[in-house]
Structures are given as structure tokens and as C-alpha cells.
Amino acid sequence: PGVGKSTLIEALGTRLTAAGHRVAVLAIDPSSERSGGSILGDKTRMERLANDPNAFIRPSPAAGVLGGVARATRESLLLCEAAGFDIVIVETVGTGQSETLVADMVDVFLVLLQPGGGDDLQGLKKGVLELADILVVTKADQDPERARRSARDYKAALRIVTPPDAPWRPEVIIVSARTGEGLDRLGEAIATHRRVLAEAGLLEARRRRQQVKWMWALLEDALLERFRAAPQVAAILEETERAVAAGERAPAAAAEALLEAFLSGRSGNRARASET
């Protein structure tokens, strides 16, 4: 948060629409753990782009989904493509290392970083570096020297990780959404990344991997939903949660008991079905 995601997306998006593209932005807002609500203020933060006839902005609440995206983000991507938007930008919650699920949905994964010198490397985990196709140092107009120093540090850090796709070496680009510095270079880097992967046959391979991961994500969601809805689980869930919270039962043992209850109910259903 505060890295300037919305400002950069608006600056880049308006340039893309001016060049003849149709741009969709899927903006994911964090949800309150207490109320479950979200502010969904992205249209306000991107006012110019929101009023552009060749742009579409759709704010969505994360609603407790980890990975920085919403539950139906993949489906929304496909709908935007079917509606004729040739560029779809996904703005994640952006709260840290766990918010990387979006890398399994997009063609190019950008990580936005504020200039902060070597100190920022403490917050940039290796897992994020390994997924990033392009690192973008934002707000260069505020402290140009600090931005350049940060870019050097990030370039050095990239040497210790394996890039997500062999023919492409992740780039570090300094930008200022307010002055426009670096935006042309960023657009060129995104286009070059796509071309390099397509020519090597890796773009299609990446999308095939994403389809498989989507299948597993849907399966996990469906299993959890059926698990919670199972009567034999619901019958013991409240007491099990109470026992774990009170320290009367170990979480691992409680999880195993819930799983056994779920599986025993499933086997019982199969037995009754075979009898009929």
C-alpha cells in the first residue's frame, strides 16, 4: 500500500487508450476482517481513466481470499477479454509476500516498489523476486537519487534468483507516474517481455500451467465448501473450535478429527447408495 499502484495504472492506462487500446482494470481492495467490507475507491483514485470510454475499471473486494486477488478474478479476466479489452491490468491488494497468486493469472507480473535504498530489500522476499518479470521503482520524482540507488540494489538482488522464464531476464525500471518519466520504457519492456516469451513458445506454456493451477484452485475451493457444509462436520465443528481455543486439544489432532468425520460421512453415503 502507498507505492502508487493506482496512480501508475492511471498514467499507463491513459497512454494505452490514447494509442488505440481498450484497457480493463480489475482492482482488488482489502476486506475488513471484522465487517468483511471494502472501500472500493479505485474509480475515485483513477478518475481520468474511469471516465475514458475505452477503459473499464472494476473494483472487487478480496473477501478473505489470500494471494492479493478476489475469488472470481480469473473469470473476470476471461470476461474482459471476451468483451474486447485487449489489455487487462490486475491491481492486487499488495500487502506483501503472500500476495503473489496473481502471477498464476497474467502474462507479465510487475512488482511495484518505493525507493528506499537497501532497506527495502528487507521487505522484498526471495519468493517475490523469483516470480517478478519486471520490478518498477515508483515515485522517482520525489527523490531521484534515492530511486536510482534502490534500482541498483534491486538489480543486484536479482542476480541471486532464477528468473521465472529462462530467455527473459527481469528488468528494473524507474518511473514517475506524475512526470511521465520511465513510462515509455515500462511499456516497451512489457511488450518486449511478451514478444520474447511468445517467440520461445513460453507464453502458451505459461498459460497452460495457469489453466492447471486454476483447476486445482477450483477443486480446493469446492472441497472446502463441501467440507464445511457436511452435516457430520457441522455437528462437531463448534465444540472442536472451542476445545482448540481453550487449549484442550491440539490443532493438528482437531484437524485430523474433522477430516475423519468428513470422510466417514462420505463413505457412509457411498454404502447407502450401493444398498439402494
C-alpha distances out from residue 135 to 6, 17, 48, 91, 222, Å: 16, 23, 25, 15, 35
**39/169: higher pLDDT:** 169
How much is the pLDDT for 30? 57
For residue 135, is it within any domain?
Answer: yes
For residue 107, is it within any domain?
Answer: yes
Please report which helix (H) or strand (E) contains residue 59, including its range.
strand 55-61
For residue 157, is it within any domain?
Answer: yes
How much is the pLDDT for 89? 94
Query: Do 221 and 69 form a contact (C-beta atoms < 8 A)?
Result: no
- Give me the chain's average pLDDT, please: 83
Domain boundary (201, 220, 255) is at 201
Residue 263 sits in which domain range?
A: 211-275
The answer on 265 and 136 residing in a single domain is no
* 190-226 confidence digits (pLDDT tens): 999 999 999 999 999 999 999 998 899 889 889 999 9
Query: Do 90 and 79 form a contact (C-beta atoms < 8 A)?
Result: no
How much is the pLDDT for 66? 45
The answer on 187 and 86 residing in a single domain is yes
How much is the pLDDT for 198? 95
CATH number of the domain bearing residue 158: 3.40.50.300
User: Looking at the whole model, is its pTM more than 0.85?
Assistant: no
* 239-271 confidence digits (pLDDT tens): 999 999 999 999 999 999 999 999 987 655 554
The answer on 229 and 179 residing in a single domain is no
How much is the pLDDT for 159? 82
- Rounded to an integer, what distance in angstroms lies between the CA atom of residue 224 and that of residue 217? 11
The answer on 103 and 23 residing in a single domain is yes
For residue 206, is it within any domain?
Answer: no
How much is the pLDDT for 94? 65
Residue 34 pLDDT > 70: no
